[in-house]
Structure 1
Amino acid sequence: MSFELKKYKLAEIADVQTGPFGSQLHKDDYVPHGTPIITVEHLGENFIIHENTPKVSNDDALRLSKYSLCEGDIVFSRVGSVDRRAYVSKKEHGWLFSGRCLRVRVNKKDKIDPKYLSYYFGLESFREYVRSIAVGATMPSLNTKIMSSLEIQAPELNVQVAISKLLSSLDKKIELNNAINKNLEEMAQALFKRWFVDFEFPNENGEPYKSSGGEFEESELGLIPKGWKQGTISELGEVAGGATPSKKNEDFYTVRGIPWITPKDLSKTNNKYISRGEIDITQKGFSNSSVKLLPKGTVLFSSRAPIGYIAIAKNEVTTNQGFKSVIPFKHVGSEFVYYLLKSNVETIESRASGSTFKEISGTEMKRVPVLIPTENVLAKFNEIVEPIGKLTQKCEEENEDLTQIRDTLLPKLMSGEIRVPVEQDHSAPDLPMVAGKSATYQP
């Protein structure tokens, strides 16, 4: 079958709608339960993030019905990161979108497959073009006129459908792994709370300690199990900072060298484990700065702008000065420190200082009060959560591979360099690793 690309202005195949103006929707309208609203923060990598969505009442949802979403819609960020977009699935049908977003709704489905269009919007060359034509000196923004004038290219409809099915099969596997990891994380957090907050860890007979009449002692933190003690983070591990090699020296940075991580790197991922950031540093950069090499298992904790991004290092890493990381003592373990820090973010924030933005110093980080269990309880906890962590890490790594395959296939499929037989069942393709990007967006 020939692969011919037809060109369309977005206005020829879709309607573009901005979200409600501020006067139509206020934070005061939000309610605990109701119709969810998608904001820019809920635009994942071509999917909608469901956590922490604001909601409005059914009456307000009816009033704002002009801004409702249907399966197949594509939501764009209207300001800031204007190349962010997400495809609306059945799960989000009937939701609303906010004033900081734009909705693209295909109205010529005999010419364009909505899911194909959403993947087309993910082409890096297309994203670069959108960023280049956004208006605004300080804050880039899009409007309906700019969006409607965008030009897209597409093959025959059946080829579009075949392409979107193949790419969707990868996204579904990624989504499944994310769901598995969400469940694993909830299990581990629930266990941590039960043992170290509710004090229902197993006693010597395997029974819940508190409800089985376990003994408690007075402390500044309140009643604590006998044998436990009040301590500080410095008693659980070494607190280490980071640094930034001079940006004026290009020889200090490289694509592949010594992993160097910033809080921005953690802001771009929900992964629990991390191996490197967006850019590495060279040995020369390492030697000419106060950067510290942190061992595998170090719990990275962002100490400013914002406080509280957390991840576990999968290998030796370095960080910039935006971290006060904890290198756990061997008997304590990375998993325990990870969940301890997650449960103490507010406490740590309360000890931060600064006029422009708050920051927790290394000295204050070391002094953060914590409850320290017995080594026996710690060992039992780690025995349970470490296998959970390994499975989480496996799913994260598989998703990284799947994402690489998808992002490498995307331009090749869009350009026709790789053909997808339309008769083939693409529900579970066996895909080889490929390299290179060839499709480009040409306005």
Structure 2
Amino acid sequence: MSSNWEVKKLEDVTINLNSKRVPLSSREREKLNKIYPYYGAQGIIDYVDNFLFNGEYLLVAEDGENLKSKKQNVANIAKGKFWVNNHAHILLNNGLSDLYFLYYCINNTDISGYITGSVQPKLSKANLNSIKLLLPSLPVQKAISNILKSIDDKINFNNSINKNLEEMAQALFKRWFVDFEFPNENGEPFKSSGGAFVESELGLIPEGWRVGTLSDLGEVVGGATPSKSKEEYYTSRGIPWITPKDLSINKNKYISKGQIDITDEGFKSSSTKLVPKGTVLFSSRAPIGYIAISKNEMTTNQGFKSLVPFKHIGSEFLYYVLKFNTETIENRASGSTFKEISGSEMKRVPVIIPPIDVIEQFNIIVQPNGKLVEKNESENDSLIQLRDALLPKLMSGEIRVPIECNYPPVQEYDLPLAAESKAQYTTI
């Protein structure tokens, strides 16, 4: 630790604004003109038609399960015009601290000793103010937070690109395969241009299309769990093995591995199947509807009914078929303890199947964007690892940084591919 770092109480370097916090009633939150963010301790939870704060503030959880979990941040930055609910402390710096440094510092500090309550964890104002943090001078704080923030800005930037690409792909799928406005032979929207329809068990569908089942689009594959009593069946580096919990933690569209792998012995001991790259993983219970695309060969536990797409179907098309039919699949599930869709029932789920050439046109458009999403997710995984490795070393002073550190704002990154992709979608 550097000699000029000092232990300070949080109240010495911040101004606590909790007295200005005014909870909103449910009626006030139901107003129509919802334009301003409504923050909880973990981020935006709603939008309201008024704001109480305007600027940049540090929010720290006052209560909730996140105070028990190290997988979730207890601090969050809110900026702009917004309202805060009554579950977050609101802090402003007093000129002796950098809010972003405090954000990283608090989230990297074990504050369990300041939390009270066994049933409902609580961080009182007095205990919050008494939290002791190791702080360098303000210029060093800013230099450290600039490094970490530049990484987070790039992660958020990639997430923003991916969100836009995903929204465009879903909109295109809906336009073509739900609203039936795919381009006809003249490049005109089919339905709006007077395209012919025929009756089917799923309603009117374009002439030349048909109603089939999910088994017409890919092979339905289940999974299994090797015996948990055998330590030799599990490893950190082996055959990727995915559970629904992995998809609840990893929100990426594409996935390469879960929290734990299985060994060759574990694989041979169970009935789990090795599925190829491009398989669309679909959780079949607890809960139904987590979806991801495999980046490599992998296995799953019994909580999946995954689909290996047929060659002429493709992963992207099948991914969106499942996304848009999740409610139908849930409605066909059964079970008293928790609902589950069986393999046989999954195969029988009815779907509208367009001609191969229409599927191919769709895939030609969305596949490049899918590759960009996958690239951005992989980059984010690397950035998260880098940030998490740097954070404790920077916060302890083990790694020294030059005070003149400056990093470009996130808006300076270019978006040529995303812009091209948007143009493709808007002209179809």
TM-score (norm 2): 0.86
Query: For residues 6-35 of structure 1, what are the alpha-carbon distances to aligned partners after superposition, in whole Å with 9 as ceiling and x for unaligned?
Result: 11122333327499899x644784334334
Structure 1's 133 and 72: CA in aligned 2 closer, same or farther, altered over 3 A? closer
Distance 1:350 1:69, change over 3 A: farther
> Which residue in the other structure is 2:37 paired with?
36
Supply the AA of the counterpart residue of 1:426: Y
- For 1:7-406, what aligned pairs fall within 5 Å after superposition? 7-14=7-14, 15=16, 17=18, 25-26=25-26, 29-34=29-34, 35-39=36-40, 43=42, 48=43, 53-58=45-50, 65=52, 68=53, 70-76=55-61, 78-82=63-67, 83=70, 84-90=73-79, 93-99=80-86, 101-110=87-96, 112-123=97-108, 126=109, 129-131=110-112, 134-137=115-118, 140-406=121-387
C-alpha contact 2:37 2:47 (8 A) present in aligned 1: yes
Alignment deviations for residues 225-282 of structure 1 (CA, whole Å, 9 cap, x no partner): 1111111111111112222222222222211211111222212233111111111122
- Equivalent in the alignment of 1:419: 400
- Aligned-residue sequence identity (percent) comes to 55
Instruction: Output the CA distance in 2 between the equivalents of 1:69 and 1:362.
Output: 53
Instruction: Give 1:181 shift.
Output: 0.9
RMSD of aligned C-alpha atoms?
2.7
Counterpart AA for 1:31? K
Q: Tell me how far 1:387 sits from its aligned partner.
A: 0.8
Distance 2:135 2:365 in 1: 51
> How far apart are the structure 1 equivalents of 2:118 and 2:166?
41
Amino acid of the structure 1 residue aligned with 2:169: A
Residue identity opposite 1:283 in structure 2: D
Mark the runs of 5 or more structure 2 residues left unpaired by the alignment: 411-428
Secondary structure of 1:208's counterpart equals coil
After TM superposition, give the deviation of residue 198 of structure 1 in Å: 1.4
Is the contact made by 1:77 and 1:102 (CA closer than 8 Å) also made in structure 2? yes
String of CA shifts for 1:282-305, please: whole Å, max 9, x gaps.
222212222221111111112222
Q: Could you tell me whether the CA contact under 8 Å between 1:162 and 1:426 is conserved in 2?
A: no
**Which structure 1 residue ranges, 5 or more long, are not aligned?**
430-443
Q: Is the 8 A contact 2:61 2:123 kept in 1?
A: no
- In structure 1, distance between residues paired with 2:118 and 2:202: 51
State the AA in 1 paired with 2:99: P
1:95 partner SS: strand
Q: CA deviation at 1:205?
A: 2.8
Contact 2:114 2:131 in 1 (8 A): no
- Check the 8 A contact 2:59/2:78 in 1, yes or no: no
Q: Write the letter of the residue equivalent to 1:108.
A: N
C-alpha distance after superposition, 1:333-385 (max 9, x if no partner)? 11011111111121111112223322222222212111011111111111111
Asked whether the 8 Å contact 2:9–2:133 carries over to 1, the reply is yes
Distance 2:37 2:78 in 1: 14
The secondary structure found in structure 2 opposite 1:316 is coil
**Which amino acid in 1 is paired with 2:7?**
K
Give the whole-Å Cα distance in 1 for the aligned partners of 2:229 and 2:117. Answer: 28
Give the residue type in structure 2 aligned to 1:88. Answer: I
> What letter corresponds to residue 230 of structure 1 in structure 2?
V
Task: Tell whether the 8 Å contact from 1:231 to 1:371 is kept in structure 2 after alignment.
Answer: yes
Equivalence for 2:421: none
Q: Contact between 1:18 and 1:103, CA under 8 Å: does it hold in 2?
A: no
Deviations for 1:64-122, whole angstroms, at most 9, x for unmatched residues?
A: x5xx57413133372112142353243xx3323334x3224144332x21110101123
* Matched position secondary structure for 1:290: coil
Any idea what the Cα deviations from partners look like across 1:205-233, whole Å, max 9, x if unmatched?
32222222322211011111111111111
* Contact persistence 1:16–1:102 (CA under 8 A): no
Q: Quick one: structure 1 residues 33 and 217, their matched pair in 2 at CA, closer, same or farther if it must change by over 3 Å? A: same
Look up the equivalent residue of 1:102 and give its one-letter code: A
Q: Any idea what SS the aligned residue of 2:241 has?
A: strand
Shift of 1:162: 0.6
Equivalenced residues, count: 404
Distance 1:69 1:425, change over 3 A: closer
TM-score (norm 1): 0.83
CA shift digits 1:167-203 (9 cap, x unpaired): 1111111111111111111111111111101112122
The 1:208–1:114 alpha-carbon spacing in structure 2 relative to 1, beyond 3 Å, is: same
